[in-house]
Structure 1
Amino acid sequence: MPKRKKKRTHVVEDEERGNGATSLASTAQAAPRSMVVRHGGGEVEPQLNDLVSDVRLLMSPATALKLKERKGAKIRDYADMGPALGVTHLLAFSMNEGGNVNCKVARLPGGPTLTFKVKRFSLMKQVRAIQRRPIDTSSGIFQSAPVVVTNNFGGAEAAAHIKLMRITFQNMFPAVDVGTVRLSEIRRVVLFNLLKDEEEDVEVRHYAVRANPTGVNRTIKRVVQAKIPNLSKVDDIADYVVGNGGGLGGAMSDSEGEDEASQVILPQKFVGKGNAKSQKSALKLVELGPRIRLKLAKVEKGLVGGDVMYHAFVQKTPEEVKEQRAKISEKEAIKKRRRAEQEENVARKVRAKEEKKEAKQKRRELREKEMMESLRAGGGGLQNQNTSESEGGSGSEIESGGEDA
């Protein structure tokens, strides 16, 4: 009988800390983790589910691609569960009755929360459908985090909500260390472009990085890239290389002569045939999707609640802001008082239960003591009675014996 092989995952002991538990929350400090969910009840359009799946691919690999949302779950439920799993950012998509799609980006565990209105979007399958040579998504491009590029967000002179958007977008992805990063891991780019208009929309684009070797003609490049050449119109391989037959001239590649600024000398080996170290290659961005147009609607100080730091559609006076803060403080005080009352009620019930248990134990001990005393008293009387009966019996026998004599 073959020996059973263990397949379960065991906790690796941490020798430095001296314990055997490894927390996901501690590992989340090195790189951010995200959770992309769809919340809200009722039926939604199938495109929203596809959008959530595409955003999960965009945020990969530090996100759950096959996360199953619980029916009726709220954002607060995911927010409470996230920190235990090491999640630092929560992206929640919802659709209202009018068909408008909203997206909340929350920083766990304490906020802030940015609410965006999704004005329009295009899915991955729609972007790939209009491309002549779409990128191969099965080549492992989603196994490494993308590079984040923020454009037109300004510097120190930008508005507070613009700075907050830029910082939030940058912190959603791990930072790139130029000194230690491997070139083969830079496979994707996520662009957040702020459109300088009255709406202040943010356009999100997702690209894949493609590199093609340059400096050689098209025929040699095909051989280097392990593509089988068509030799039906030539008599010798030399004719194919030189281009003397079949109209195959030693033409340059499509990307080689168009933009020389995109041609770089690779410091390390990159993915693809012919992209070796110190080789001159032309870089090209191929869009993956999705395309999303966002409009910042509201910024909340807390986690899906608290003070409203920015609102794009509602402008309040200082008196209204003061009144709103007073209502929030009163609500928090009521919640704190109710929590204290609930804790006191729980403690009172626990005390009553313990007192009842102690009283029951005392009654049991008292009954046992009375029973033992009664047994002792009953046993002594029975012994005296037996003794007297035995003495009386002996006298009768003597008397009867005298009469016979």
Structure 2
Amino acid sequence: MAKKSRKKRTHVPEDGTDGSGSKVPKSLVIRRGKTAAEVSELVQDLRHMMMPYTAINFQEDARNRKLTLQQYSKHVALPMGISHLMAFSQNDNRLNLRLGRTPEGPTLHFRVHKFSLSKHIKALQKRPVSNTAGLQSNPPVVVTNNFGDTSNNNSASAAAPHVKLMRITFQNLFPAINVAAVKLSECRRVVLFNLIPGESTSDTPGEEGSEKTESTPLVEMRHYAIQANAVGVHRRVRKLASSSKRKLPNLHKVQDIADYVTGQTATGGGSVASDAAPSDSEAEDDPRHTIDLPDSYMGQRKSQKSALKLVEIGPRLTLSLVKVEKGLGHGDILYHAFVKKSPEEVATMKAKKEKEASLKQERKATQEANVERKRKAAEEKREAKRKRKEEREKSLLERLRQGNPDKDENEQSSASSSGSGEED
């Protein structure tokens, strides 16, 4: 008798974890309000970058584009288990990005200085790499550069609090990597966040004693695909081995395959395949970029010496942090790039906000008390009306039992007749 087969679970665990018990962050990239067509394409490119833990096919309803982040968090993020919201909005002057953690914040406000779509990056490359489903099946590796020394507590190398918050937020957008259990085949992409510190410039150049102002630091985001090429194999041989039947090189100028490998034509001179030459960014010949693979990776065998290369697949963003809010789209301002306040001003504003909040609570309590009072009055009125109706019905039943149901009518008619006789 044949052994009964058992189906194994091949989908993502239902509890929202990565299988090891750690919570997997999920993101939602949306646009709010009216935006240009390029912004819609940028949103779609970012969703492909955030794969596989993102809503790739989410459609924003035109009626819901003015919803606040709190409403998105309550009605969309919490039911779907989304941990981060990325909302793009545009006005006549700039493009803004708000990155918030649900449901309680914080929220980082960025200004998008410039961006490039994936199609624009591919158009400039000689050998572009498509962001296929094979690359998107696993989350990318996150690399943060120049955000401060995380292993040294020295005050000279410690980063500012808002810079640390940016680094932590960018890292938490993607699942954490367990170095002891990660598979090499799962590392196919890299997302780089590079911080460019602001430079101190004087308000009045050329004058001594002028005040120094520091420009806002910029954050560059890049998205790369990892490629591995065997070292010690001729490039043309490797091209033949990795090419499919539809992408074979042009061999009409050679009489033998050896001529193609050596680069000789039938007449004995000239290179036959200029497309087989490496690009300027390839690093097969640099020993610093070659490693012995600890496991099979992208068609390369285990322990084979291979050269690693990063190929940008987009999108590309240049951001600057404007402010940080404590809550999700609201709350205290923890940092502002352009508005600086003293501790006394902060305390005064906080006291003013608390007073406004208390007055609002008082008004709300008064309104609720008025509503409750009116509700009780209406309830008492309905109860009194019900009691009067019950009394009338009870008196009518009593008259029916006594056999004089028209007693009140007879009394009224006699009273009316007596009144008319007195008038005569």
Change (3 A) 1:87 1:336: farther
Q: CA deviation at 1:180?
A: 2.1
Whether 2:229 is the aligned partner of 1:212: answer: yes
Secondary structure at 2:403 match in 1: helix
Paired residues for 1:277-356 under 5 Å:
277-345=302-370, 347-348=372-373, 351=376, 355=380
Q: CA deviation at 1:168?
A: 1.0
Secondary structure at 2:89 match in 1: strand
Change (3 A) 1:367 1:63: farther
Q: CA deviation at 1:206?
A: 0.9
Q: CA deviation at 1:360?
A: 5.4
8 A Cα contact 2:283 2:309, kept in partner: no
Aligned to 1:88: 83
Identity within the alignment, %:
47
8 A Cα contact 1:127 1:287, kept in partner: yes
Change (3 A) 1:252 1:275: farther
Secondary structure at 1:115 match in 2: strand
Structure 2 unaligned residues grouped into runs of 5+:
1-12, 200-214, 406-424
8 A Cα contact 1:24 1:84, kept in partner: no
Change (3 A) 1:212 1:379: farther
Q: CA deviation at 1:31?
A: 0.8
Q: 2:128 aligns with which of 126, 130, 134?
A: 134
Change (3 A) 1:211 1:24: closer
2:30 corresponds to which letter in structure 1?
V
Q: Distance in 2 between matches of 1:23 and 1:367?
A: 64
Aligned to 2:419: none
RMSD, matched Cα? 3.4
Aligned to 2:186: 185
Secondary structure at 1:137 match in 2: coil
Q: CA deviation at 1:321?
A: 1.0
Name the stretch that deviates more: 321-330 or 252-261.
Answer: 252-261
Aligned to 2:171: 170
8 A Cα contact 1:211 1:282, kept in partner: yes
Q: Distance in 1 between matches of 2:46 and 2:362?
A: 41
1:270 corresponds to which letter in structure 2?
Y
Q: 2:288 aligns with which of 261, 272, 293?
A: 261
Q: Distance in 2 between matches of 1:193 and 1:26?
A: 27
Q: CA deviation at 1:242?
A: 8.3
Change (3 A) 1:120 1:216: same
Aligned to 1:32: 25
Change (3 A) 1:371 1:197: same
Change (3 A) 1:352 1:279: farther
2:55 corresponds to which letter in structure 1?
A
8 A Cα contact 2:31 2:65, kept in partner: no
Name the stretch that deviates more: 212-221 or 150-159.
Answer: 212-221
Q: Distance in 1 between matches of 2:16 and 2:252?
A: 59
Change (3 A) 1:217 1:25: closer
1:183 corresponds to which letter in structure 2?
L
1:202-235 CA-partner distances (Å, limit 9, x unpaired): 1111111122233322344234325345665666
Q: Distance in 1 between matches of 2:401 and 2:37?
A: 84
How many equivalent pairs are there? 354
Paired residues for 1:31-180 under 5 Å:
31-40=24-33, 43-65=34-56, 66-69=58-61, 70-81=64-75, 82-97=77-92, 99-155=93-149, 156=153, 157-180=158-181
Secondary structure at 1:167 match in 2: helix
1:285-342 CA-partner distances (Å, limit 9, x unpaired): 1111121111111112222222222111111122211111112212322333344345
8 A Cα contact 1:25 1:86, kept in partner: no
Change (3 A) 1:213 1:358: farther
Change (3 A) 1:370 1:212: farther
Change (3 A) 1:180 1:123: same
1:168-210 CA-partner distances (Å, limit 9, x unpaired): 1111111011122222222211100011332321111111112
TM-score by length of 1: 0.75
2:35 corresponds to which letter in structure 1?
V
8 A Cα contact 1:39 1:75, kept in partner: no
1:202 corresponds to which letter in structure 2?
V
Name the stretch that deviates more: 124-133 or 208-217.
Answer: 208-217
